[in-house]
Amino acid sequence: MGKDCAHSLHRFDEFTVVRVESLVDDRCSFLCIHAYLDGDGTRLVPGALMSRTAALATARWGTVALSVISFAISYIALADLAHIAGLGLQAFLWPLMIDGTIVVGTVAVFAAPDAHSWSLLIASAVVSVAGNGIHAAITQGSWIAVGVALTPPVFLLWVTHMTVRLTRVDLASTPVIEKERREEEAPLEPREEVSRLIAAGELSLRKIAARVAVSDRTVRRWRDEDQMTAV
């Protein structure tokens, strides 16, 4: 199956958009990438990447969606397995206990990703994996059916782990950013401000004292000390 590539130029506001398409059998678009040409049109600039916040939100909602899908897929299998085991009407409650614990474990991992939360999630997922696999083996007798039945809980654990890692990276970087922002926005100390204003030579000592909210005597004393230090 041959591949070919094509590109086209489009105008979008003040930028020139380069549309690159990889074609399959010259019939259907296989891949489409947008990039921009810089101001003089000589350098290709990639389009904006997804922000960390958007990636984290997508991962979280994806984990929630996979939890619901995994719950729905395994409920029928676990209920049927409990019915085979002779639980009767209680068979419909057993999947709620197993998969409900998976939901609780997922929330616990998000809130406090420690060993206890992970052990709860992993233990409930292992029971769900075993139950789905045993049910597929009993009812279908096929390794393919067993593999299909094991997929949802395994992928749920995998995606949850990656989401927690994204959350940890986001939480670890946020305080540094906030600290740097506070340091940049922090006002100067009164003495540093007085020294700066005196060096600028635009205001009298009285006006400097009024601006910094200290007495004239303090401003003169700081000025004299700075002069003595400079000497």
Please write the tens of the pLDDT for every residue from 139-151.
888 889 888 888 8
At residue 215, φ and ψ (nearest 5 deg) are: -80, 160
Dist CA 33 CA 20 (whole Å): 5
**pLDDT at residue 23, as a whole number:** 39
pLDDT(12) > 70: no
Q: List C-alpha distances in Å: 42 to 32, 36, 70, 183.
A: 21, 10, 50, 39
pTM: 0.46
Give the count of alpha carbons within 13 A of 53, CB side only: 1
What lies within 8 Å, CB to CB, of 101 at 6+ separation is: 120, 123, 124
pLDDT band at 43 (very low <50, low <70, confident <90, very high): low
pLDDT band at 40 (very low <50, low <70, confident <90, very high): low
Please write the tens of the pLDDT for every residue from 73-84.
888 888 999 999
Quickly tell me which residue has 């406090």 as its tokens.
112
> Which range (32-36, 50-54, 123-127, 197-201) has the least confidence?
32-36
